[in-house]
């Protein structure tokens, strides 16, 4: 009771003429509320002081008789895109108000950037505002939709994510809520999309001794448990992989003491249970040491994220299930470690894939294409309407595009259009790469076998020869391979993701699946 009285008193505003002040007791510090509001840039022809507050910000300003716009002008120059400023004690319900710059109003889709600039600006601004408030240990933040509640929610949830599971000192947990907008549906959708990407980030960032193939499969099983009515999961053990004659996959897993798992997910969201599924296949190397072709030790730790393909594919299926997308999806994730040992595959060894093709393994570090080869062969049994595989496949992909976009190698213009459209919406971009016979010739010319797991001109066009290799295991007319090695981690390039493993392109995969669902 006493506590209640103290808190009520502390929240009471003391008003003296035009000056307001609010007392904040210590008991309140831990549950202070924050507010993030947006402001657009002024048009070129307008005066310096012109302010373009969003609808929610204007409403808030009005409730304070213009105090917010007054302070914004007083406190410094107009807020540039992505910049923010915090005001304290302005409102009794919100001790901290972060105002964020949204850039030009109605910027829309930019043809050269291949993304929706308005959406990207909102994600960036909202994430900056939320993070500022998180640093001030504000535990609940209300967020302006800024005219696009989904993008605002994505900015908030992606921006606040921080992997501190294994640290004693954690960042403040912040809950978020839509402010001053009725678009709760858009907001909720954005939360689910962003949480999907955060699940992939969590799996990718986690150390390899925590996320083993077995632990990965268990985590996904747990995440899918609430959707058991529409989801079937198979955690295929080593004996099953052997029965399936997946010799290429087994040649990678055999160097490690950790047992491999072939994870198979079925999401039946379509009212027509017979509708051919979308097949998603993800590279699931939970640690890539390179095997006998051992990688240099500098930055080898990043290879804990070499299951980024499996993480983004499985996270997008969890997200599709949460959204109840009316589409059928099959997800496949060959999961294992790539380790050197007395039992490991040696350079020059020849192995046989599920489709009978023989492969000379000249470099054991080119292991992703081996495990995907068998998964792609197997995937055809589901008669998929389209196959999309996702893999942190080559360092060459990072050299080619860096972290700007994932490379897409596809035999289908239709599939390319679908993926590209989705990526413009999400801002998590894709860029089309070639699947020329030129590259096929470089992987089919092998001394001992049908194929070689590396191109004969070694590093040249490394991402393209890897794609050409995968193509040898695909018969379907609509197949795309996404090489996500370049977008695997974030330093500071994507402003609404903190430094660390990115979980890209989970939202693009979800948006792509949603597109298929809604276009029949």
Q: Among all residues, which ones are annotated catalytic?
A: 295, 369
Nearest to residue 467, comparing CAs of 391, 403, 362? Answer: 391
Cβ proximity to ligand BES, 38 vs 213, nearer residue: 213
Residue whose pair of structure tokens reads 């993008």 in the numeric block: 151
* Paired tokens of 157: 């949830």
| Terminal-to-terminal C-alpha distance of the chain | 58
Instruction: Please report whether residue 158 would count as binding ligand BES according to CB under 6 A.
Output: no
**Does the protein bind ligand BES through residue 244 (CB under 6 A)?**
no
User: Of residues 43-102, which lie at the interface with ligand BES (CB under 6 A)?
Assistant: none
- Per CB under 6 A, does 461 bind ligand BES? no
462 near ligand BES, rule: CB under 6 A: yes
300: DSSP letter: G
Q: From CA 249, how far away is CA 336, in angstroms rounded?
A: 9
**Which residue in 141, 454, 494, 517 binds ligand BES (CB under 6 A)?**
454
Give me the 295-324 binding string for ligand BES, x by CB under 6 A, dash otherwise.
Answer: -----------x------------------
The backbone torsions φ and ψ at residue 308, rounded to the nearest 5 degrees and listed phi first, read: -60, -35
Q: List residues bridging with 381 in a β-sheet.
A: none
What is the closest distance, in whole angstroms, from the C-beta atom of residue 388 to ligand BES in the complex? 18
483 contact choice in Zn ion, ligand BES, none (CB below 5 to 8 Å, kind-dependent):
none
The DSSP secondary structure of 38-73, one letter per residue, reads EEEPPPTTS-TT--EE-HHHHHHHHHTTTHHHHHHH
Distance, in Å, from the CA atom of 28 to the CA atom of 72, rounded to the nearest integer, reads 26
Q: Provide the phi-psi class of 156: left if phi over 0, else alpha when psi is between -120 and 50, else beta.
A: alpha
Please give the residue ranges that form the binding site for Zn ion (CB under 5 A): 285, 288, 306, 365, 367-368
Q: Which of 211, 366 has the CB closer to ligand BES?
A: 366
Dihedral sign, Cα of residue 251, residue 252, residue 253, residue 255? positive
Residue in the block written with tokens 């596809």: 410
Phi, psi of 116 (to 5 degrees): -90, 105
Task: Give the separation between CA 315 and CA 503, rounded to whole angstroms.
Answer: 9
Q: Find the shortest distance in angstroms from Cβ 285 to Zn ion.
A: 5
- Minimum CB–partner distance for residue 62 and ligand BES (Å): 51
Tell whether residue 365 is a contact of ligand BES (CB under 6 A).
Answer: yes
* Least distance to ligand BES, CB of residue 506, Å: 17
Note whether 288 binds ligand BES by CB under 6 A.
yes
Indicate whether 292 belongs to the interface with ligand BES (CB under 6 A): no
Q: Does 366 bind ligand BES (CB under 6 A)?
A: yes
289 binding ligand BES? (CB under 6 A): no
Do residues 139 and 110 make contact, with C-beta atoms less than 8 angstroms apart? no
Question: Is residue 155 a contact residue for ligand BES (CB under 6 A)?
Answer: no
Q: At what angle do helices 308-322 and 184-205 cross, to 10 degrees?
A: 150
**Which of the choices Zn ion, ligand BES, none does residue 485 contact, using the CB cut-off of 5 to 8 A by kind?**
ligand BES
Does 394 help bind ligand BES (rule: CB under 6 A)?
A: yes
Which residues lie below 8 Å from residue 8, measured CB to CB, with a gap of 6+? Answer: none
Residue closer to ligand BES by CB (options 305, 425) is 305
| Residues that bind ligand BES in the complex, under the rule CB under 6 A | 288, 306, 363, 365-368, 392, 394-396, 398, 454, 462, 485, 488
């Amino acid at each position: 009771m006493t506590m209640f009285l103290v808190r009520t008193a502390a929240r009471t505003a003391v008003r003296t003429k035009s000056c307001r002040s609010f007392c904040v007791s210590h008991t309140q510090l831990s549950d202070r509320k924050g507010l993030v509001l947006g402001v657009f840039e002024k048009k070129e022809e307008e005066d310096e002081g012109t302010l373009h507050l969003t609808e929610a910000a204007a409403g808030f300003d009005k409730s304070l008789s213009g105090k917010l716009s007054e302070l914004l002008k007083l406190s410094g120059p107009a807020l540039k895109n992505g910049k923010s400023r915090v005001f304290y004690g302005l409102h009794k319900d919100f001790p901290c108000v972060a105002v964020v710059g949204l850039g030009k109003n109605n910027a829309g889709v930019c043809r050269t950037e291949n993304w929706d600039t308005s959406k990207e600006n909102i994600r960036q601004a909202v994430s900056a505002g939320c993070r500022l408030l998180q640093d001030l240990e504000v535990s609940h933040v209300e967020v302006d939709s800024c005219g696009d509640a989904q993008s605002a929610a994505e900015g908030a949830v992606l921006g606040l994510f921080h992997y501190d599971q294994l640290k004693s000192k954690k960042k403040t947990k912040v809950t978020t809520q839509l402010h001053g907008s009725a678009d709760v549906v858009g907001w909720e959708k954005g939360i689910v999309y962003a949480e999907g990407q955060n699940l992939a980030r969590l799996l990718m960032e986690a150390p390899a001794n925590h996320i083993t193939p077995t632990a990965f499969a268990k985590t996904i099983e747990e995440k899918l448990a609430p959707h058991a009515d529409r989801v079937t999961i198979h955690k295929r053990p080593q004996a099953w992989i052997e029965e399936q004659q997946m010799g290429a996959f087994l040649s990678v897993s055999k160097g490690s003491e950790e047992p491999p798992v072939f994870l198979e997910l079925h999401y039946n969201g379509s009212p027509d249970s017979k509708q051919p599924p979308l097949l998603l296949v993800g590279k699931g190397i939970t640690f890539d040491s390179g095997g006998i072709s051992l990688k240099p030790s500098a930055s080898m730790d990043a290879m804990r994220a070499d299951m980024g393909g499996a993480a983004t594919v499985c996270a997008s299926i969890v997200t599709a299930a949460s959204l109840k997308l009316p589409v059928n999806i099959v997800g496949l994730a060959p999961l294992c470690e790539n380790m050197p040992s007395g039992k490991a595959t040696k350079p020059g060894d020849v192995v046989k894939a599920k489709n009978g093709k023989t492969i000379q393994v000249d470099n054991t570090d080119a292991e992703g294409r081996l495990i995907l080869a068998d998964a792609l062969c197997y995937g055809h049994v589901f008669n998929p309407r389209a196959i999309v595989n996702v893999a942190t496949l080559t360092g060459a992909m990072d050299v080619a595009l860096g972290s700007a976009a994932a490379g897409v190698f596809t035999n289908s213009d239709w599939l390319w259009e679908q993926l590209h459209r989705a990526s413009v919406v999400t801002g998590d971009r894709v860029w089309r790469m070639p699947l020329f016979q030129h590259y096929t010739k470089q992987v089919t010319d092998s001394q001992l076998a049908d194929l070689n797991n590396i191109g004969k001109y070694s590093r040249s066009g490394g991402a393209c020869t890897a794609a050409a290799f995968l193509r040898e295991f695909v018969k379907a007319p609509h197949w795309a391979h996404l090489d996500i090695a370049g977008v695997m981690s974030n330093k500071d390039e994507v402003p609404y993701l903190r430094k660390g493993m990115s979980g890209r392109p989970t939202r693009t995969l979800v948006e792509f699946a949603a597109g298929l669902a809604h276009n029949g």
